[in-house]
Structure formats: C-alpha cells, structure tokens
Chains A and B, each alone.
Chain A
C-alpha cells in the first residue's frame, strides 16, 4: 500500500494511523513521502519501488475543486503513470473524511498574524497610492498592488495571498478605477485591465506559494534521508552494540527533540532490560506500556490508540515474528509527532532492531565457538592430566610393591625411581596450581630488589637433577645490577625456562643461560638457548597457549611451562620472546623493565 501525506487534523491522523497499522499487520510496506502533487508523488514512489499497479480511491471532491487543482487525482495519474496500471475503487461514505477545507489547505495553516500583515500592507499602500495617484494615474497604482501581492506571496501562505489578491483588486476598483467609490467600471480597457490584474495576482500568488511548499517538501525529504543516513553511518562506525545503541539514541534525541530510551529483551524473552545508553530512566508505568508494545509488537503510548496517556511514544523493535526490544521517545508535552516523524521513528526502530539482532547472532556464534574451543581444551586437559598424573603414580606404586624383598642394590634403584616420580608429580601439581593462580587473577607480584645471581643460583638448584645429561653453561656478568622483580616468580620463570630446554631437547645437547642489561632500552634480560629441534614458525604463534606442546615434544609435561612463564613475566611488566638459535635450537628470552636503584647509605 502506498500513501501520500495529507495535512490532517487530529481525528483524521488517528484514522490514518489506524489504517496504516492494519496495513502493516497485513504485511504491507509503508512509504511516507512529501510532495505537493499527489499524483506525481505516487508515480515517483511507484517507480522507485518497481510497483506495477496503483490502487486509488475514487475522488469525492466537487468538480470545481478538481479543476482548481489541475484535474482530479485519477486523471492526473492516468496522464503521468506511463506503464503502471491504475485501479480505481469506490471510496467509503463521505462522513469518513473531515471537511475538504482542511484537506486542501497547506500543512502550515496561515495564522491570524499573516492576515493582519496582509491588511496592514494593503492599507499602507492604499494611503500612499491616494497621494501618488494625481501624479501617476490609477493604472500604475494597479502595478504597485501587483508588486505588493508578489512580495507578500514570497513571505506568506497561499490563503493570505489569495485574500490579498481579492482585497487589493476590490480596493483598486473601488478607490482608483473611475467611476470612483463604486465597484462599477466605466471603460472597457479598465475592465480588461481589472480582470487581468485579478487573474495575475491570484496565479502569481499561488505559484510562489506552491514553489515554496515544494521546496519545504524537498527539505523534509532531505532531512529524513539525512537522518537515516547519519543513523546508518553512526551504526556502521560503532564497534560494539553498546556503542551503536548509544550513537543511535543520541541521533534520535536530536531528530525528535526527545529523550530516548531503549529496552532490550533479556535474552530468553521473559523481560525487558533498559539499555544504559538511554537518556532518561524508564518508570514502572512506562515499563508497563513498553511491555505491552513488546508483547503485541505494536506501537503504544502517546500518539497512539493504546495507552495514549503514557508519557512516551513506544515503538517495538520487530524482527520477523518477534519483538526484541522497545524504543521509547519521550517528547515535551506540547510536541506533536507528524506522520513523517512517526515513519522516521519506525525506521530508527527497524535499524536498531537489525543491529541488535545482528549483534545477538554474532554473540551466539561467538559463544558456540568458545564452547567448542573450551570443550576441546577440556578434553586435551583431561587426557593430558590423567596421563601426566597416572604415569608417576604408576611408577610409585610399582616401585613400592617391589621394595619389599628387594636386595640392597635394587632398593637403591627403586628409591631413585620413586624420587624421580615424586619430583615429576610435584612439578606437575605446581604448574597446575600456578596456572590456576594466573587465571584466577590471584597473582599479585610483589616487586622487590633482586640479585640476578641469587635468582639464577636458586633456579639452577631447583632443576639441577633435570639438567643432568646436558652440558650446561652460563654467562652472567659479575656486575649484573640489582633489578626490581618478584623474586619467587622470577626464580620460577628461570627454572621453567631451563626445565623446558632440558625436557624438550635430546640428552647430551647443550643448554646455555645468559643474562644482562640493555641500558639503552632500560631492560634486563635472561636468555635460555638450546640445541634441540627448535621452534617451528607455526608453533611460535601458539607457543604461550596452555596445553600446547611442541609436535616433536617428548612425553612429559602438560605444555603449561611457557604459558606460566609468560603469565609470570607479563604480571611483572615484562615480555617473553621466542627465537631461533643460529646453528639450530630454540632461544627464549625474558625481558623485565630495568631501573638502577637509589643510593645505599654506606654506614
């Protein structure tokens, strides 16, 4: 259904609203447009929307009315419709329509002020002409009047201009055209002049008014297009739903001169939750109205038939069969909502609905991806943990079984096995606990002045048994300065780096530990290099993820080592960099911010 806008009274507006709502319910698309030629507007919209048929009601206007407007709507439609089919249906009873006067009067009814201006100007001009007429003759007075009419028509509505045309013609005739002080005209030329004057005054007045109306309509169309353009622009610029809603609501604030709020479905369709971007807080009463609009997928509140006493105009955000939220416009008490503004409000709501739905779909997708991911992680973790825990436990129980009745030499061997197994178990449990500590956010590094030599010694002590079988070399400057770090965390970081190198390289390959200060970049570094298989580029990206182990990694370890190193280091404001050792193997370097300590009082 296509409908052009008529300037309507309140009653008529409500009926149009009602009809439009019905049409919408039946699945119609509503297009609102502005033009002062209904036929032209209809054809334009029809062409824009690729319509092939136009259905119109039969005109009930009197014949003279149609003539005044350049033929009735159907005639004009037929003239300009081209290949579009026109269907004519009889209109319902005339009582359905308000007075025709309101209908053809333009949207902005001329207030009394404009009529006063007309009579003021004409009065002044008449008095001036009374003094000029002896010098110029009465014909030029007619030209003065005509000039005044055209000037007035630039400022006033067609009603006052029409009145001005008639009044000026009569005044001219009565006061200036001989015989004076009668409406009679003596000479034929004067009569001709008077009739021409009358027609020219009327036509020029109406023409100017029409041009102005057209211009106004263009402006309204443009405003609406601009509003929607700005909205889509704001929506596409926003990166998150919240940002988009915020932008959209601020736009709505401006275009409707209103305070706006958005209520959104809480996700499971049981209640509406206000969005924080709203510019007013929704009262319980308004909540009730919004709830109705939401459940019935119909507009409600002010300017509608449903709960019109409400403060806000409630527009549901409808996507397909469901409403996913409600847009509330709360306008000042004296404000009105024109049909085009209603349409704009609906467009806003539709855009918002689309946006919200898109975001919701994206969120659902993301959640599913996350679930799948965590499911995978869960399985990896379970597999890994059960394997890692059970291996040393199996060793322990077997060794303990064999202890009884074993000879002295075997006992010593078994004791060694037990020691190795418990160490492995302990390491695993510690790693799991550290990872948990990192993830729960319970890790609060306590930065303190640390001696690099102390840290490295302690770390090496902790992993010395794992380093057996690897030629191990260190290169630490004797004057390595103190630096701020959490000593316990850093000790563990260095121990984990060494352990990582020891566990993931073949026995007999070298391990190298270096430390130093990069004073230019004010950072201190600890580097562990090995001669193992190295870190393939593909591995490097996921290196610090939990439960990632080198593809060629030996059995043992859960792949938590690097993730913990990175967690501990970043918690202290540092960074971990993985690289290739020239000549084969991997290099892992830990950087920490470095600043020299203050003076130490000697005594």
Chain B
C-alpha cells in the first residue's frame, strides 16, 4: 500500500475544509486533487483516475448524491462521504447510492485517515485473502470455518452469511438494507429485528463482552461495521 503514493480527489465547496483536508492527507502521505463543485469533481475523477474520493454531500451545483450516482455509473473508486446532516436516512441514501463510508462533520483527522485507509485497503472481490483475522477470531472464507482462540465456533448458516458480509466489507459500514436484501431477499427490508436477533447471537459466540462488542459494532440507525483493530 505504501509503495506508490495514493491520489485522493477531494470535492468540497468550502475552501477551508479543502485546505485542511490537503494538510491532513498530505501529512498522511497522499496526493490531493481539489474540486470545488460536483461538475469539476466528476471531470477530475475521469481525468486523474484517483485511488479514492472524499466528497461533501451538500455541493452547490449538482447535489452530492447525484455526483455519487453519476460517478458510480463508470467507476468503482472508493468514496468517503462527508456530511453535516444529522439525519440517518441521508447517510443511508449515500451508502445505498454507492458510497463506501461516511463521516459526519466535525470530524477528527485521525478518524478521517483511518476511514480512508479502510476503504482504500482493497476493492472488494480483488485479491481477496481467504483467511481474515480480527482479534482472536479467525475466519476461513474458503473452508467456511470460524475459529475463536483456535477453537472452532459453530455458527448457523444465516449467522455465517451475516458475518461473511461484514468481513468482506470489513472496516466499512454495511447498511441494514444491504444486509437484509442480501440475506433474506428484497421483501425483508423492513424486518430489521432479524438482524438484531442474529447479531446478538453472533456476538455471544464471538465477542468477549457481547454487550460491549469490540469488533461487531453497531452504527445507530444505519447498519453494522466490522472493526479489525
């Protein structure tokens, strides 16, 4: 990852935020391209082929959501969305439109670089390692085996499928809608209690303190995130 210098495209209409992001990201060893509007942002994305995009949802010309949709028509570049909006449904909308993660302003620079690294780590499906480890848990995706502290843990098929989804997207938030669609089909999108119940079981089997999970984190009103640490 550290071999070539990564290029990040930042789309935000606030000059001060642009400047701050440039300082932060360059300090983290990345190249920064700036765009002040959605239109310029899309042109820059096509021209420079950045490794990641950090963009604000409230852009002056075309809305951030629209930029995201247009970008997703031809690019799989990881996108981190910045928002001042407190409403969870806007975050969910952005994630559903193809954003890889979100950050709510104001945010710390450490948080920003951590999130950025998580979405940069790998594009899902490419060079996927068959064994993923987090904490004392080891998940062998090829053999469909989960071990905790070396001992095999028995998961039901649904529990395994849910965990696998989070592991594949590890470090990133997976929305309730995405999980329900993937595991129960498009008609189950309202049944979030399925997720809650299964997640409780998974945590009980994998987490040291099931009620204070270290790895299987809840994003209130949005979804779940697997944190590796």
Contacts and interface: CB of A to CB of B under 8 A. Distances in A.
Given A433-B86, A446-B88, A491 B220 contact: yes
Contacts of B218: 451, 454, 457-458
12 contacts: A426-B106, A434-B86, A446-B221, A449-B192, A451-B218, A453-B211, A457-B213, A476-B211, A487-B221, A491-B221, A600-B197, A602-B158
A488 B158 contact: no
Nearest to A491: B220
B197 A482 contact: yes
Interface in A436-480: 446, 448-451, 453-455, 457-458, 476, 478
B156 interface: yes
Most buried by B among A454, A457, A601: A454
A511 B218 CA distance: 24
A602 B200 contact: no
A454 B220 contact: yes
Nearest to B161: A603
B69 interface: no
Contacts of B211: 453, 457, 476, 478
Interface in B199-218: 199-200, 211-213, 218
A449 B88 contact: no
A486 B199 CA distance: 19
Interface in B65-112: 86, 88-89, 106
B198 A451 contact: no
Contacts of B86: 430, 433-434, 488
A482 B193 contact: yes
B193 A603 contact: no
Given A422-B106, A487-B220, A597 B193 contact: yes
A183 B213 CA distance: 129
Nearest to A479: B200
A550 B48 CA distance: 57
A488 B193 contact: no
B220 to A, nearest CB: 4
A165 B134 CA distance: 124
Given A422-B106, A603-B158, A451 B199 contact: yes
A448 B221 contact: yes
A451 B196 contact: yes
A211 B23 CA distance: 109
Contact-residue size bin, chain B (C-beta under 8 Å from the other chain):
20 to 34
A446 B197 CA distance: 19
A451 B197 CA distance: 9
A598 interface: yes
Contact of A446 (B89, B157, B196): B89
B194 A601 contact: yes
Most buried by A among B88, B106, B196: B196
Nearest to B218: A454
Most buried by A among B86, B156, B192, B211: B211
Contacts of A598: 193
B173 to A, nearest CB: 13
A478 B106 CA distance: 34
A378 to B, nearest CB: 25
A319 B143 CA distance: 93
Interface of A: 422, 426, 430, 433-434, 446, 448-451, 453-455, 457-458, 476, 478, 482, 486-488, 491, 597-598, 600-603
B220 A455 contact: yes
Contacts of A430: 86
A455 B196 CA distance: 12
Most buried by A among B158, B198, B199, B221: B221
A457 B194 contact: no
Given A430-B86, A451-B218, A491-B220, A602 B194 contact: no
Given A476-B211, A482-B193, A603-B156, A488 B200 contact: no
A600 B156 contact: no
Most buried by A among B192, B212, B220: B220
Nearest to A443: B87
B198 A600 contact: yes
B158 A449 contact: no
Contacts of B184: 601
Contacts of B196: 449-451, 482
A491 B158 CA distance: 28
Nearest to A437: B86
A523 B52 CA distance: 46
A48 B196 CA distance: 83
B50 to A, nearest CB: 29
A258 to B, nearest CB: 56
B191 to A, nearest CB: 8
Nearest to B158: A603
Contacts of A434: 86
Contacts of A458: 218, 220
B109 to A, nearest CB: 12
Contacts of A433: 86
Contacts of B213: 457
A443 to B, nearest CB: 10
A24 B20 CA distance: 83
A488 B197 contact: no
Contacts of B198: 600
A562 B158 CA distance: 41
A272 B223 CA distance: 59
A206 to B, nearest CB: 90
Interface string B163-207: 000000000000010000000100000001110111110000000
A386 B188 CA distance: 49
Contacts of B89: 446
B212 A600 contact: no
Contacts of B157: 603
Contacts of A476: 211
A494 B216 CA distance: 21
Contact of B221 (A488, A600, A601, A603): A488
A293 to B, nearest CB: 56
Nearest to A419: B108
Contacts of B192: 448-449
Nearest to A596: B193
Contacts of A453: 211-212
B193 A600 contact: yes
Most buried by B among A446, A455, A600, A603: A600
Most buried by B among A434, A488, A601, A603: A488
Contacts of B221: 446, 448, 486-488, 491
A421 to B, nearest CB: 12
A341 B133 CA distance: 96
B156 A488 contact: no
A430 to B, nearest CB: 7
Contact of B156 (A422, A448, A455, A602): A602
B87 to A, nearest CB: 8
A486 B92 CA distance: 14
Nearest to B184: A601
A593 to B, nearest CB: 16
A430 B221 CA distance: 18
A433 B86 CA distance: 9
